[in-house]
Chain A
Amino acid sequence: MNTIKRFFTDRDSLASLLVTVFAGLFSLLAGIVLIFIVSKNPIQSTRNFLLAPFLRSYNFYYLLIVMVPITFTGLALCIIYQLRYMSMIVDASFYTGAVVATAIGTQLNLPPGIHPAVAMLAAGAVGGLIGLLPAILRIKWRANELVSSLMLNYVFYFFGSFIILYFLRDRSQTILSSVPFKESFRLPRLVENTQLHAGFIIAAVFVVLVSLFLFRTRWGYEIRLTGANQKFAYYAGLPVTSIILYAHFISGFLGGVGGAVEMAGLYRAFIWQMNPSYAWDGVIVAMLARKNPRFVPISALFFAYLRVGADFMSRRGDVAFEFITLLQGLIILILASDRIVNYFKERRLKRQVLSRTGASEGGSR
């Protein structure tokens, strides 16, 4: 509560909030303009886009389901961004996490409850180890972690599909699919006759855990200080290298768990024909949340809303689902533009300073 109060009284945060809301609204508006350009039935498409979650109860639950994976990737990227790093490796962590969970979900026999938990831990561990790679490349060989992580994403994507194809594939299916999961692996449903699964709760728990971790423990403190100024952190005696490493591990861990939750909650088998790349949605979620995990649920809700709207509209009309990535890019561009944020801050500051000192001005010579 205190944070929220401070958030609204602190003018810098308020300026950031304004820009964030502006980015969201602007992207919605741009989306509508785009619909009017390409759609033969723009009114109907716009309605489907904006009101999807309220038109069908299915869509509403779908909205909540979509929030789950992007909450995980959003949290993962919050940690990376708190550190002021740019690694996108959470994409590989998420995908490989799903593959690891598939292996455990299809090959092991464990009691219900334990089974998905073991899968999540294993997927998290593997995801965390993968998360370390770009950090190690950066520390040891000064490789830009964004570039290396994007290439590693390709490597792990191909490697993951190799594992599914050669070791876990259900050969009776014509399309690419793993053998079905054991019943004990699946997460319980929260609401009868919907797909809303317990992963939603797990995601909520992780929001709380990551917030506590980042703002209440010494490790989170270290991550934030290192992100504020890495040279300073080193000078002040913080073990910067290990901070960078465990931050990346935790980020990858969250990605891996996210992949496992998605498998155990939503599917009967691994059926991804291509990488769903929830990490890119995570970028938006983390940026809209201003890298603060406490705001991740809000921004995840907003982005899930866009996603569900775009999905519903594309299935009912002539606008391709991919138009969501256009909006995504637009949001990042706006949020990344310091000058837009500073515009709000500077104008206010100038006014203040001038009014404060202007009166005493004049007879200085």
Chain B
Amino acid sequence: MNYLIRTEKLSKIYPNGTFANKSIDFQVAEGEIHGLVGENGAGKTTLMKMLYGEEQPSAGRILIDEKPVTIASEFEAIKAGIGMVHQHFMLVPSLSAAENLVLGKEPKRTRSRTFDMQEAVRITEELSARYNLPVYARARVADLSVSMRQKLEILKALYRGARILILDEPTAVLTPQETEELFAELKALRQRGKTIIFISHKLKEIFNLCDRVTVMRDGRLIATHQVADVDIHQISNEMVGREVQFEISRPPLQAKSPALVVRDISFVDDFGIAKLKHVSFTLRHNEILGVVGVDGNGQTELVEILTGTEKPLSGSVMANGKEITGRSPGFIRRCGVAHIAEDRITVGTALPATISQNLLADRYWRAQFCAPTGFLKMPAMAAEADRLVKDYDIRCNSPNQPVASLSGGNMQKVVVAREFTAEASILVIAQPTRGVDIGAIEYIHARIMDMRSAGKAILLVSSDLQEVMALSDSLIVMHEGEIVAYFPDASAVTDKELGLYMLGIRRQSDDELRKVLHEHD
């Protein structure tokens, strides 16, 4: 069989020593939608980056139409007919959609050789109509919705003559309904002869959309199947190497006194977009309150305001009876609020600093570690770091090695170890398992449940819907900066139902929403 694109023994080792791809033989036929599945960190994105020229293989080769090719840059990938839609959109916010679409291959006025805006808009509108992917050509990208930016990315690739479209987890930022719309559009593209590589870790989507599927695990290609020939269990086994279990033991607990009282919080971002509109809720001890919503609907900003890295425009936040609105993270921490930041690379850890420094960053000043003269008690600090490394099973050679040398899972354990031992009664947890291996995920989930049993009040924000639903006692749904639903019992709601609220199609009545305040408990 001839393949449009295939790889032979392709391997990739990153400079930090990560062996991301091990001898991959990956084959895609013309005109198919080919699913590529695997857990976070399985090596899917690395493989695609090599196909798109963003990374160079350490060994092996790539063949297009059975001819070996070197794809040294994105530019060459485009020339070879490969287009990619990244997880993080590659758009210039201050330029219009049309300008972004033609960037790198711009129409020019014949005489003056200057940029031809009218032509750019015409091209955009024509492409948009031909492939039925609606975008506003003249609007600035910063003003476009996420799903429209994604359509623009697809159009960008098509404008450059892409035969092969790579979509890297395109549904992560979409609502269920937007996802369905995208799938219809992708199937239409297949009809027009385009080949699509669809990366995901959501198996249901693969079965809805793809012709064939390739499974990766731990940097290796495990198998490729006709989707019609396999069932979801087999794929899922191949992905994780064992049965997936999101089984969480949940001792029944009665939520107690209010811990975090949030009233009427509003926030406007740098682009003038209202990210939070009058958000109010109450978080109680012994409770995990899950926050559900499509990424970018204000969850990030909410967490930032609760923990002090961002200041609200109006409203108030009380933690354990103390006013913390707009105070510094240091002050808020001293009021008993710990925080697992959603971005552990740029916020949650200091990569060049040692594991020990990262573990003690919030407590080095306590009398236990620091004499009144300002001199540090080095032995006490070393002992504490050793204890945390052991207690939280952080796999490392020494607490004095830089955090940057750890794997994603162990890095997250450093964050968890620090925040869960921070003498805090309120935990604000954002994306606790993003980009973390299965083993670490289970470990972290168990620890979160321990914290619940210990009487902490936990606010859990995660874009992994299954995770939030499995861990939380109750749920709130956010849409466009507002709380649109509150479910006191998380087990009584289905993901389909949540989807309707996440998309903003449904919205609870004010009376229902007022329950989240717990003012008359």
Residues of chain A having any CB pair with chain B under 8 Å: 6, 216-219, 221, 224-225, 228-229, 231-239, 342, 345-346, 349-350, 352-354, 357, 361-362, 364-365
Contact = CB atoms under 8 A, between A and B. Distances in A.
Given A237-B329, A237-B334, A357-B22, A218 B17 contact: no
Nearest to B360: A221
A151 B357 CA distance: 36
B22 A361 contact: yes
Interface stretch (B92-100, B121-129, B368-376): B368-376
Interface in B1-57: 13, 15-17, 19, 22-23, 25
Contacts of A346: 15
Interface residues of B, number: 41
Contact of B23 (A219, A232, A364): A364
Nearest to B378: A216
Given A218-B370, A364-B22, A235 B307 contact: yes
Interface in B345-371: 346-353, 357, 361-362, 364-365, 370
Contact of A237 (B333, B350, B352): B333
B346 A229 contact: yes
A228 B350 contact: yes
B241 to A, nearest CB: 13
A216 B371 CA distance: 11
Contacts of A217: 374-376
B350 A342 contact: no
B362 A236 contact: yes
B346 A231 contact: yes
Nearest to B309: A235
B445 to A, nearest CB: 23
Contacts, number: 97
A214 B351 CA distance: 19
A233 B13 contact: no
B328 interface: yes
Given A357-B22, A365-B221, A218 B374 contact: yes
Given A218-B370, A221-B364, A235-B347, A228 B357 contact: yes
Contact of A342 (B15, B331, B357, B365): B15
Nearest to B346: A231
B350 A353 contact: no
B62 to A, nearest CB: 18
B288 to A, nearest CB: 22
B13 A354 contact: yes
Given A225-B353, A229-B346, A239 B328 contact: yes
B413 interface: no
Interface of A is mostly: helix
Contact of A357 (B19, B307, B353): B19
A352 to B, nearest CB: 7
B374 A219 contact: yes
B376 A353 contact: no
A239 B357 CA distance: 16
A234 B329 contact: yes
Contacts of A216: 375-376, 378
Nearest to B401: A10
B321 interface: no
A330 B174 CA distance: 52
B220 A364 contact: yes
Nearest to B16: A349
B339 interface: yes
A231 B347 contact: yes
Contacts of B221: 364-365
Contacts of B352: 228-229
5 cross-chain pairs, A with B, having the tightest CB-CB distances, nearest first = A237-B330, A229-B350, A228-B350, A228-B353, A236-B361
Contacts of A365: 25, 220-221
A294 to B, nearest CB: 16
A235 B328 CA distance: 9
Nearest to A238: B330
B294 interface: no
A238 B361 contact: yes
B506 to A, nearest CB: 35
26 contacts: A216-B375, A217-B374, A217-B376, A218-B364, A218-B365, A219-B374, A221-B357, A225-B357, A228-B351, A229-B350, A232-B349, A232-B361, A234-B309, A234-B328, A237-B330, A237-B333, A237-B361, A237-B362, A345-B15, A346-B15, A349-B17, A353-B19, A357-B19, A361-B23, A362-B23, A364-B22
B87 interface: no
Nearest to A232: B350
B361 A225 contact: yes
A28 to B, nearest CB: 30
Interface string B304-342: 000101000000000000000000111111100001010
A229 B25 contact: no
B461 to A, nearest CB: 15
A135 B333 CA distance: 26
Most buried by A among B17, B23, B339: B17
A354 B332 CA distance: 47
Interface in B86-145: none
B58 interface: yes
A342 B14 CA distance: 12
Contacts of A231: 346-347
Contacts of A225: 350, 353, 357, 361
Nearest to B402: A12
Most buried by B among A6, A233, A235, A239: A235
A350 B14 CA distance: 8
A353 B17 contact: yes
